[in-house]
Structure 1
Amino acid sequence: MRVVYDCRYVRVGRHDGISRYTAGVVGELQHLVDLVVLISDERQLEMLPAGIRWRRVSGPTSVLEPLVALQVNRLRPDVVITPMQTMGTAFRRYRVALTVHDLIYYSNPEPPHDLPGFVRVLWRLYHKAWWPQRMLLNGGDAVVTVSHTTEGLIAQHDLTRRPVVVARNAADLPDPSLVATDPDAQAGARSIVYMGSFMPYKNVETLARTAELLPEYTLHLLSRSTPADEQRLRDAAPRARLVFHRGVSDEEYHELLRRSTALVTASLDEGFGIPLVESMGYGTPVVVSDIPVFEEIGGEAALYAPATDPAAFAERIRSLEDPAEWRRRSTLSRAQAERFSWAESARAIAGLAGELTRRARSR
């Protein structure tokens, strides 16, 4: 069974969510199947496991995308897995599983700012109705999604007749020796961390207003921000102690987690939430909005607050100033993080690929 995995969404230089998911899954999947990955830029190989077999094809935002299967057919795959649902499938001679990470952009239609202009226009048109999603998903042979929450939404909106398999997001967990090495210091650190974009559905204004209610706390905003983002948040909470890092390395991110009281996020909607798993992996508690997917990820370890209630967020953070409560949440957090693994997700995808291959060969 030859499996081809579409790695054309891997970022150059630094992962985003889909890029990290792709690299995590293929790192384990290569041990389970005969695997070849697709790239569109050889620099993507720097972000993928060393020595992985690859082939180069046109990019996912190219005008050639509707007919990309003509290029992929040359590899003679049994199954192709793509981490998006937009891969061209016309004239394919293989089974394909398409991935849906979330349905955020139906209720929050603003596209990511780094997409080409014509793609941003198509993005908005695509999310004005459900039928384009149904057409794409039913054009494949199976659907992969990254959470049981999104699996439920796919069923609720009747988006596909194809089988749906959950292969959850995960994170590379640190060695236990690096977990919560000084819990008393973290409980009293008066430092909270946010890792994520500044798009409207991320609702970062609530976090800024929370920090304003906690005058002795510093809110570290780690992702790349624009002057407009920063001014908007300073206007929302002029007395808050906000530090804009404008992007950090993985090492800087992990070190901040190890020195902070909590990771916080007030998202109105998400498909998953890798920062939660990353923070819990370091034993750093998370205080998050009470949306279903965060409850799936955080379980009993996380502290929850209504997404638009800064006072509730502040109260939950204050509760972690008690060293005993911080230690309890820290222990629960590490145990919860260990429930998510790339190996488990890769096994789910390998199982799906095997089933699709058996169906094809039995015809």
Structure 2
Amino acid sequence: MRLFVDCRYVRTRVHDGISRYTASLVQALTSPQLSGRADVTMLISDPAQLDMLPDLPHLRISSPTSPLEPFVPRQISPHSPDVVFSPMQTMGSAGRTYPLILTLHDLIYYQHSAPPQNLPAPIRLGWRLYHLSYAPQRWTLNRADAVATVSDTTAQLIAEHRLTRRPVHLVPNAPQPVAQPRDPEAAPQRELIYMGSFMAYKNVEAIIDGLNMLPEHRLHLCSPIDPARRQELMGAAHRPSQLVFHNGISEEDYSRLLSSAAALVTLSQAEGYGLPVIEAMSHGTPVIVSDLPIFREVVGEAADTPAAQVAATPEDLAFAVRRLEDPAVFEAASRSAFERSRAYSWTDSAERLLAAAESVRGAYA
């Protein structure tokens, strides 16, 4: 099977969620366990994306934000893919001659409509208009032959809102393999980690409010951040020196940080999956999360235990961090977190993607 994977959302320096999702699936498709199941071609728009991807055949096409996007099949069809998979739902489909699988990660922007500020103004306007009702989403998803999503929580929302007539396949996120999880008996450093964007619904100010009650801890904010947003967050801190801004962190440094910190924290008001949560748990690092259905799905039986404490307020967060200072509590949390993380793997997710691709293969023969 000639499987083309849309890799145009892969970042060129540091992965965000969709970038990591794409790159990890592509890497897993080449694993020995799946050898011979598909010949993968990566669709890119910037040669620098290849630095973040495995060494596989690739085809350069227009950017997903280009005016050419509705007609992108004209660039792809001459290469005769058996199936095309995109990690987003917005890939152009006009005149396509191949089966197409689109991905819907979440429905966050129906509740929190503000678009990412790094997008061009016309796209931000289109973003807001798109999310005024479910009708554009239904039209978008029904252009595909199948839809992928990353969690049962989102799959249930797709069904609840009747967003598509197409089959919906679960292709979840997963943590990167960890060569050696942390020693659960070793005392953690008084470091907390936040990994994610700084959009309003991420509720980062609430984390800082919790940090204000923890004067001996530091908070590592790992993602890229613009200077204005950084100043806003520093203004919320009683002791700005407690905030460590990495402005994008390397894989190696992030892994080292996860292997020593007391916890990864998020008080987000909405998520599609919460990849940093399962990544932290794969290192044996406890997590402190807001009370969302998706977090309860991801952390499973560990929910609301020392491994994955639920925090509704900054005070809850501070209390959860204090609990983890008890060596027995931390050890139990670390062991439980690591065991839960083993429920997810990129190889399993890639196998699910291949099953979805096989199910639509030949639709345009």
Distance 2:45 2:139 in 1: 25
Q: Point out where structure 2 has 5 or more consecutive residues left out of the alignment.
A: none
Contact 1:290–1:304 (8 Å) recurs in 2: no
The one of 40, 44, 48 equivalent to 1:39 is 44
Contact 2:104–2:148 (8 Å) recurs in 1: yes
The one of 102, 106, 109 equivalent to 1:98 is 102
Normalising by structure 2, what TM-score? Answer: 0.93
| Partner SS, residue 343 of structure 2 | coil
State the 1:340 CA deviation: 1.2
Give the equivalent residue in structure 2 for 1:248.
Answer: 249
Cα-to-partner distance string for 1:288-310 (whole Å, 9 max, x where unaligned): 11111111111233423344x11
Q: What's the % identity of the aligned pairs?
A: 48
Distance 2:243 2:174 in 1: 29
Distance 2:227 2:120 in 1: 21
Tell whether 2:121 aligns with 1:120: no
Give the equivalent residue in structure 1 for 2:192.
Answer: 192
Contact 1:282–1:334 (8 Å) recurs in 2: yes
The one of 154, 157, 173 equivalent to 2:158 is 154
Cα-to-partner distance string for 1:256-315 (whole Å, 9 max, x where unaligned): 1122111101100011111112111111111111111111111233423344x1111111
State the 1:339 CA deviation: 1.3
Contact 1:300–1:332 (8 Å) recurs in 2: no
| Structure 2 CA distance for partners of 1:190 and 1:108, relative to 1, 3 Å | same
Give the equivalent residue in structure 2 for 1:74.
Answer: 78
Give the equivalent residue in structure 2 for 1:341.
Answer: 345
Tell whether 2:316 aligns with 1:315: no
| Partner SS, residue 321 of structure 2 | helix
Contact 2:308–2:337 (8 Å) recurs in 1: no
Normalising by structure 1, what TM-score? Answer: 0.93
Amino acid in structure 2 at the alignment position of 1:163: P
Give the equivalent residue in structure 1 for 2:287.
Answer: 286
| Partner SS, residue 253 of structure 2 | helix
Aligned residues: 355
Distance 2:223 2:316 in 1: 24
Q: Point out where structure 1 has 5 or more consecutive residues left out of the alignment.
A: none
Which stretch of the first structure deviates more once superposed, 77-86 or 235-244?
235-244
Give the equivalent residue in structure 1 for 2:185.
Answer: 183
Cα-to-partner distance string for 1:297-337 (whole Å, 9 max, x where unaligned): 11233423344x11111111111111111111111111111
Give the alignment's Cα RMSD to 1 decimal: 1.6
